[in-house]
């Protein structure tokens, strides 16, 4: 079935970097906008970044601008999140999500990955 599988999470010290990946399967990845959403322990959902189907448009939440970069490889059906200058407050489960029907990214999220945990701690 349609699936997203995240990887790349782990424990990292403040100021260091980490790259998350999200492998997509059983749908035409190149046709859909994609997102990263995070959830700090015991907290609610926070949208992080979006990328349009062709990478022409990217948006970020204010707290990660200049530190995080979203990208995609439509040949490898993979979404990425490069996270630099990590802070303790970036600690969260990071989910990738597919937009329901929109290529730009502004749509509901119909498919979510299982999440990957990122812990930023000294």
Partner 1 sequence: EIVMTQSPDTLSVSPGESATLSCRASQSVNSNLAWYQQKPGQAPRLLIYAATAGATGVPARFSASGSGTAFTLTITSVQSEDFGVYYCQQYNYGPPITFGQGTRLDNK
Name the residues that contact partner 1, by CB under 8 A.
35, 37, 44-47, 50, 59-62, 95, 100, 106-110, 112-115
Shortest Cβ 62–partner 1 spacing (Å): 7
Joined tokens for residue 115:
């999440």
What is the number of other CB atoms lying within 10 angstroms of the CB of residue 54? 13
Give the 3-state secondary structure of residue 88. Answer: helix
Shortest Cβ 13–partner 1 spacing (Å): 27
Query: Within the chain, what is the greatest distance between any pair of CA atoms?
Result: 41
Q: Measured from the CB atom, is 42 or 75 closer to partner 1? A: 42
| Residue whose pair of structure tokens reads 């959830």 in the numeric block | 39
Q: Measured from the CB atom, is 32 or 95 closer to partner 1? A: 95
Shortest Cβ 14–partner 1 spacing (Å): 24
> Euclidean distance between the first and final Cα of the chain, in Å?
39
Q: Measured from the CB atom, is 61 or 82 closer to partner 1? A: 61
């Amino acid at each position: 079935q349609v699936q997203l599988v995240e990887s790349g999470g782990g424990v990292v010290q403040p100021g260091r970097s980490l790259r998350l990946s999200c492998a997509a399967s059983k749908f035409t990845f190149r046709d859909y906008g994609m997102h990263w959403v995070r959830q700090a322990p015991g907290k609610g959902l926070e949208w992080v970044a979006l990328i349009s189907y062709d990478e022409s448009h990217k948006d970020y939440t204010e707290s990660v601008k200049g530190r995080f970069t979203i990208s995609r490889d439509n040949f490898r059906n993979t979404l990425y999140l490069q996270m630099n200058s990590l802070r303790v407050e970036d600690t969260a489960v990071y989910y990738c999500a597919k937009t329901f029907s929109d290529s730009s990214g502004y749509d509901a999220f119909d498919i979510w990955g299982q999440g990957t945990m990122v812990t930023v701690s000294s």
